[in-house]
Structure 1
Amino acid sequence: MAQDTALTANTRLFRPGYAGHNQISARTLGFWLYMLSDALLFTALFASYAVLDTPMNAAGGPIASQIVNPVEGFWQTIAILGSVTCYSLATVAMKNGKRGGTALGIIAAIVLAVVFLGFGVNDLTTLAAHGDGMDRSGYLSAYFVLILTHAIHMGIGILWMLVMLVQIPRYGFNEMVVARMLNLRMFWQFQATVWVCVYIYVYMIGA
């Protein structure tokens, strides 16, 4: 009976007319405003990359067609989209009041995100080991900054998920936890969107 009561307390957050919706909506709106600034940041980085993506700015160093691997980028895309899917399933479990299912979805999302970052780190370290670091040319600077900025955001998302794995069993699905989970979903989906743009523009067109 206690378990049923707890489940009802968790799922009431998703019922029409519940007062906690206003608090969740306010936090979500605030996070939307942050996401707009993040979108401007990546827009500027893409614009810089577009300007510097020329043989002249390569300064005798490698250009996109020499350093990007569309096949490897494809697997990175699968990994990040899989991570987003797993996290979305975690929010479905949250809506149903299932802490175990929510935690499982978050863990799967973290694992796939780590796989994604592993590919990216390997690419950048390989380039740097061959003397083609971000200080080699204007083009490589734009490439490294774009990829690293996205990787940093991914790392922040992974850390955020780890925090949620601690907060869910401790606090349950209260207004604060639900708002953070929903904001994280928005943040994570945005990172996947940015990566798809990177894959299309840098990996597919560049190759």
Structure 2
Amino acid sequence: MNRAVAGPTPSPELGQLGMWIFLGTELLFFGGLLVAYLFGRVHWPQGFGAASRHTDVVLGTINTGVLLTSSAVVAFGLACTEHLAHRRWTGRLLWLTAALGMVFLAIKGIEYRKEWHEHLFPGPAFALADVGGAELFFWLYFVMTGLHALHLVIGISGVAALAWGAGRGRPWAAARHVEAMALYWHFVDVVWIFLYPLIYLVERHS
């Protein structure tokens, strides 16, 4: 008697491996920007220090707290997927994670608006044009924080989709997919943890 041969079942670890490979390429990308930052910091230490003192350390610190909180929330959401009694909380915690990401973007938008009015965008009207290295600092600042914000938008979209799916019991919102998205979210947070002192704390004491 002939028996139907089932196809290979995808390994639960396959998604995590793919995400690690993707994050490895992203790490190389952000690493190149950090090398450019360190080059400028070594060659124009006073200019980078003066430019850093014009950033809003209060808003930057608040945003750091928001992202750290979101990492804890998404970790709780992932933990709930492993316990049937608490699984109903997964969707709610993922929605909260996405909401905290939106809060971060809103605060960053306020900060960008403030910097625009203070003429801190590189260009002909740049307010610190007479300070060597300051314009390069703000070029790197806007590129790095802008790319970080773009990655966060992608993360918010993914987390919100999984939150919607988890709330309705969709199979594609399984624990392994939530784990892969949580890994991506933690990566975005870690990038910010590196950016925060480089942007806001350069010679802040002086």
Same fold (TM over 0.5): yes
Match of 2:58 in 1: 71
Match of 1:38 in 2: 26
Match of 1:158 in 2: 156
Quickly say closer, same or farther: Cα 1:42–1:149, change in 2 above 3 A: same
Q: Among residues 86, 94, 110, which one is paired with 1:122 in the alignment?
A: 110
Give per-residue Cα distances to partners, 1:65-87, cap 9 Å, x unaligned: 12x23332221111001011111
> Does structure 1 residue 183 correspond to structure 2 residue 141?
no
Paired residues of 1:24 and 1:176 also in contact (CA < 8 A): no
- Kindly provide the amino acid, as one letter, of the partner of residue 36 in structure 1: G
Paired residues of 2:166 and 2:173 also in contact (CA < 8 A): no
Q: Distance between the aligned counterparts of 1:56 and 1:87, measured in 2?
A: 39
Name structure 2 gaps, 5 residues minimum: 1-7, 127-134
Q: What is the deviation of 1:155?
A: 0.8
What is the total number of aligned residue pairs between the two structures?
183
Partner-residue secondary structure (3-state), 2:121: coil
Give per-residue Cα distances to partners, 1:53-109, cap 9 Å, x unaligned: 437877xxx61112x233322211110010111111111111113442001111211
Q: Distance between the aligned counterparts of 1:78 and 1:56, measured in 2?
A: 28
Q: Distance between the aligned counterparts of 1:175 and 1:159, measured in 2?
A: 15
Q: Distance between the aligned counterparts of 1:50 and 1:206, measured in 2?
A: 14
Quickly say closer, same or farther: Cα 1:166–1:182, change in 2 above 3 A: same
> Does structure 1 residue 205 correspond to structure 2 residue 202?
yes
Partner-residue secondary structure (3-state), 2:120: coil
**Structure (1 or 2) with the greater helix fraction:** 1
Q: Distance between the aligned counterparts of 1:141 and 1:104, measured in 2?
A: 38
Match of 1:89 in 2: 76
Paired residues of 2:52 and 2:201 also in contact (CA < 8 A): no
- Kindly provide the amino acid, as one letter, of the partner of residue 87 in structure 1: V
- Kindly provide the amino acid, as one letter, of the partner of residue 102 in structure 1: T
Paired residues of 2:165 and 2:173 also in contact (CA < 8 A): no
Match of 2:130 in 1: none
Could you say what the CA RMSD is over the residues aligned between the two structures, in angstroms?
A: 2.4
- Kindly provide the amino acid, as one letter, of the partner of residue 203 in structure 1: Y
Quickly say closer, same or farther: Cα 1:132–1:193, change in 2 above 3 A: same
Q: Distance between the aligned counterparts of 2:93 and 2:62, measured in 1?
A: 20
> What is the aligned-residue identity percentage?
19
Name structure 1 gaps, 5 residues minimum: 1-18
Paired residues of 1:80 and 1:192 also in contact (CA < 8 A): yes
Q: Distance between the aligned counterparts of 1:176 and 1:131, measured in 2?
A: 45
- Kindly provide the amino acid, as one letter, of the partner of residue 112 in structure 2: L
Q: TM-score scaled by structure 2?
A: 0.78
Q: Distance between the aligned counterparts of 1:171 and 1:104, measured in 2?
A: 13
